[in-house]
Chain A
């Protein structure tokens, strides 16, 4: 065969390959067309969006009138890496601000949110903070949620005089003067989950969490609660992303025993693979109870897991459970999520609730500023927030000049119920057996 013939053959083969590839991608295109059908759905929902518009219009002072003043620049830093992704939080806060901006803004000013991400790298966190301050000239930080951001940047914010509104994780998010959080974070949320399963009188608790920085700090809370209740506790950590969920689920169940309880502290995708593995292997009934910290409070988890977990799996909910709640604030949250939250991939759930709540607090604080939106004025307004009823938390939210902040320390417990999360236990204070909770209540005069 001549070279020319060979080349022609190769070309024909390549053309065939391309054709088949295009066919397959076109099949996948039903996913893209699902994106476009999402757009179509958006237009469909924008048809119904007049109904939505009326409900979202309450997020700003002038319904339907876009803010045209000088933008108020705010910044946020969220963790985004394989196995851990908190960007729904800043995306939902951005959605809230978009709603406010479309309905009059804050005293006529739109809010511009600079959203940065980091991958648990100290240098990247420090660079993000400097970028927000020096390049983007943000006057306030609201919407941050990162595994290590507080640890890296707390002294930087303190030095510059920024009072950060965050959804915290690292100890410094709670134990320093310049951070106040809308959530309880993994430690106190895990406290809540452990506190609930302790009420079921288990013979043992297995507490398993992601092997990321700060696990020792988180584990200290559940350990204190279990110790006070004289229940043995085994602490485990798993490398994420989890690549052997069957083995992890088996290990947890074996360690806990038939009268024990398994408490998880993972992001929803990781918790899901463990729980699905447990379901597949028929392990859900091999322990007395399963529990999880707040990230598991998503409808998608209860939908994916199915009814086998109804009243068997208990999730600590730091924010008001969205499904059974029909209040104006909750309806506004859902309406904003629907109309402005196209990049909030997790939909209704704790992460988006946190973003919404931080947006509420920031707007409330900014609304009270009478003069120019300088860094000093904005941060003074942030730290002065006191007893603000967010409608999303058990109790009013206060920042305050305290050496530590655990502003949210009263929570719910929810359980799956045929695809929805329903309240199992109403607002309950996290036990002061955790020494950090006791210290905060003393500092805040609680």
Chain B
């Protein structure tokens, strides 16, 4: 009988020991993807909008935080709050203006409209925070400077925070949806918006809360990803792809499946890195996993059509 830990070596893969640090980085990124994915799913279920501007909004928030930290006397904590506040306000403003105007349009139109916001924000970021030449920016959280060892693996506190925030926000969101009046209204809207409205639920206010919450999450995710990945407008904007994939795997319905899918995407993406033959294809991970999951669901006939709550 072959010991499981010897299998990688036999297949010409790096040893399990070599994989371990990648597991840590994958878990951290997966946690932040989960945070983003949960925000997107909740918003989709409450408003019918797949918010593709999630990454761009967080990116601009992070760049604002960078500017406040580096070009003013604003304390770092206030700069982070400004990032979250900006993301929340922009997302809410978009939701109030365009969300309402597009409420009766096809989901595809609604999603495409958020791409419009993405492009506008990308343009503004390119204008205000030019990336010309050799300079670049970075956000360093205090948690980057300390960590601990697990065996021979260095774990930085920011990585722990990335995973923890993903877990905590998923649990908090689940509890919020289950036990609060607003959460119940959101779940009701997820099932049937029209009936919910006829029952006297203030649909607009519930939608506004969903937009605002999604914005807050995009600000938090923007800050964490700016530290864990890079403070670059394009990079952060398109990192949303991994979260979208996780949300799609969950059929834009279950925040728990979104959470698990995001963690899996983060881990697989990272664990592929040391495998020479696959490393250049790792950017495909979210697409491949999402496509595989959707194919599997459709083959097993387990695609829920309606009525399944968050």
**B72 contacts chain A at the CB level, 8 A cutoff:** yes
**A430 contacts chain B at the CB level, 8 A cutoff:** no
Inter-subunit contact A28/B234 (CB<8 Å)? no
A residues less than 8 Å from B68 (CB atoms):
27-28, 30-31
How far does the alpha carbon of A190 sit from the alpha carbon of B82 in the complex, in Å? 42
Partner of A346, one of B22, B133, B232, B238: B133
How far does the alpha carbon of A8 sit from the alpha carbon of B232 in the complex, in Å? 40
**B89 contacts chain A at the CB level, 8 A cutoff:** yes
Partner of B235, one of A86, A241, A349: A241
Number of interface residues of A (CB under 8 A): 66
Q: B91-99, B245-253, B302-310: which one contacts chain A?
A: B91-99
Inter-subunit contact A282/B154 (CB<8 Å)? yes
In the complex, per-residue mask of A15-52: 1 if CB is within 8 Å of any chain B CB, else 0? 00110110011011011111001000000000000000
Query: Nearest Cβ distance between residue A301 and chain B, in whole angstroms?
Result: 8
A residues less than 8 Å from B204 (CB atoms):
6, 10
Q: A88-B132, A250-B273 are in contact. Are A20 and B89 (CB under 8 A)?
A: yes
**B184 contacts chain A at the CB level, 8 A cutoff:** no
**B112 contacts chain A at the CB level, 8 A cutoff:** no
Inter-subunit contact B134/A343 (CB<8 Å)? no
Partner of A17, one of B64, B96, B154, B269: B96
How far does the alpha carbon of A198 sit from the alpha carbon of B129 in the complex, in Å? 39
Inter-subunit contact A82/B22 (CB<8 Å)? no
Q: A17-B89, A347-B135 are in contact. Are A244 and B279 (CB under 8 A)?
A: no
Inter-subunit contact A20/B85 (CB<8 Å)? yes
B residues less than 8 Å from A243 (CB atoms):
229-230, 235, 238-239, 283
Inter-subunit contact A245/B230 (CB<8 Å)? yes
**B167 contacts chain A at the CB level, 8 A cutoff:** no
Inter-subunit contact B93/A18 (CB<8 Å)? yes
Query: Nearest Cβ distance between residue A20 and chain B, in whole angstroms?
Result: 5
Inter-subunit contact A251/B97 (CB<8 Å)? no
How far does the alpha carbon of A53 sit from the alpha carbon of B134 in the complex, in Å? 26
Q: Mark out the residues of chain A between 266 and 311 whose CB falls within 8 Å of any chain B CB in the assembled complex.
A: 267-269, 272-273, 276, 280-283, 295, 298, 300-301, 304
Most buried by B among A6, A37, A269, A344: A269
A residues less than 8 Å from B156 (CB atoms):
280-281
Chain A contact residues: over half helix, strand or loop, or mixed? helix
Inter-subunit contact A24/B96 (CB<8 Å)? no
**B280 contacts chain A at the CB level, 8 A cutoff:** yes
Inter-subunit contact A10/B96 (CB<8 Å)? yes
Which interface class (under 10, 10 to 19, 20 to 34, 35 or more) fits B? 35 or more
Most buried by B among A34, A236, A243: A243
In the complex, per-residue mask of B199-217: 1 if CB is within 8 Å of any chain A CB, else 0? 0000010001000000000
**A242 contacts chain B at the CB level, 8 A cutoff:** yes
B residues less than 8 Å from A18 (CB atoms):
93
**A239 contacts chain B at the CB level, 8 A cutoff:** yes
Partner of B89, one of A21, A86, A345, A349: A21
In the complex, per-residue mask of A376-397: 1 if CB is within 8 Å of any chain B CB, else 0? 0000000000000000000000
Q: A239-B283, A242-B230, A243-B239 are in contact. Are A254 and B136 (CB under 8 A)?
A: no
Query: Nearest Cβ distance between residue B79 and chain A, in whole angstroms?
Result: 8
**B298 contacts chain A at the CB level, 8 A cutoff:** no
Inter-subunit contact B274/A251 (CB<8 Å)? yes
**A87 contacts chain B at the CB level, 8 A cutoff:** yes
**B168 contacts chain A at the CB level, 8 A cutoff:** no
Partner of A14, one of B67, B71, B97: B97
Query: Nearest Cβ distance between residue B159 and chain A, in whole angstroms?
Result: 8
Q: A91-B132, A239-B283 are in contact. Are A30 and B18 (CB under 8 A)?
A: no
Q: A31-B64, A83-B234, A300-B134 are in contact. List 9 more A-B contacts (CB 8 A).
A: A17-B92, A24-B86, A27-B72, A34-B72, A241-B232, A269-B230, A304-B138, A345-B130, A347-B134
Q: List 8 A-B contacts (CB under 8 A).
A: A17-B89, A25-B86, A30-B74, A88-B132, A268-B136, A344-B133, A345-B135, A346-B134
Q: Which B positions have Cβ atoms within 8 angstroms of A?
A: 14, 18, 21-22, 25-26, 28-29, 64, 67-68, 71-72, 74, 82, 85-86, 89-90, 92-93, 96-97, 100, 128-136, 138, 140, 144, 154, 156, 158, 204, 208, 228-230, 232, 234-235, 238-239, 269-270, 273-274, 279-280, 282-283
